[in-house]
Amino acid sequence: MRKTVLITGAAGFLGSHLCDRMVREGFFVIGMDNLSTGSLSNIDHLFNSGSFEFSSYDVTKFVHIPGKLDYILHFASPASPIDYLKIPIQTLKVGALGTHNLLGLAKEKKSRILVASTSEVYGDPLVHPQPEEYWGNVNPIGPRGVYDEAKRFMESITMAYHNYHHLNTGIARIFNTYGPRMRANDGRAIPAFMSQAIKNENLTLFGNGKQTRSFCYIDDLIEGIFRLLMTDYHLPMNIGNPQEIPLLQLAEEIIQLTQSDSKIVYLSLPEDDPKQRCPDINKAKNILGWEPKVDRKDGLLKTITYFNEILK
């Protein structure tokens, strides 16, 4: 009998790719999303697969799924500053109430639940690269706090359910990820730079461009998530690409790859914007046998092809 997985945030960037992977792996997938930031166009192709059903639902309300449920992947949340600054209270609620509801569902169904945390739990880090043991440097009342603290609470309540109820839980700390199905206007660096370059507009770079990020292609990220789901590992695990790059270099690479005439303009750095971001992935290597495989140039070219199609 095939296994069933519930994926929240199913119509979003990461969630939709997870739906694809779980269907390919032979699971029956129940996708759930309130479509506040996701889009049905990301999962349209799955509706006639015979292995997928969709529920338009807000997980901050009580969640009930009839029948057996083997796995839960909780990926519902706004994930870019442009979103969580626009809907800050909903962002906090999905991290807190939504996670509580899904942990309760996992307890009822005796499911393994894997929650999507983020590198943002490290804040503007004072330790580099960031290992899972680092507690972070987060401003709880700053503009990014609604997202950072929602995810930190998510981790806390997930561990509480694991320790108190002996629930089979997992926590993925996801670092910057990119690829097809990102929204062109979601405010993050790669979609912003690509949209501007394709339109031959100025690329807007915040700060001096020396701040670093580490970008993981979506296929690599999904492989890491799947491997983590298939274990019983319960402590937080970094999933990301440790190849660090200054944002100025990223902007220049995208201009070159798109053959754009765009110039780079500099704007002031947003409050609490991290200066460095790079994962220590030794745990993922040792426990999952996982590390990123996709070369950045190849990943960027695939993503540019997608943005060329949606920006026509």
Catalytic annotation, residues: 147
Outline where 94-144 has alpha helix (H).
99-109
What is the rounded distance in angstroms from the CA atom of residue 192 to the CA atom of residue 186? 7
User: How big is the CA angle at 242 (ends 241 and 248), to the nearest 5 degrees?
Assistant: 90
What is the rounded distance in angstroms from the CA atom of residue 109 to the CA atom of residue 269? 46
Neighbour count for residue 105 (Cβ, 10 Å): 20
Backbone angles phi, psi at 73, to 5 degrees: -115, 110
Outline where 25-144 has alpha helix (H).
81-84, 88-93, 99-109
DSSP states of 163-189 as a string? HHH---EEEEEE--EE-TT--TTS--H
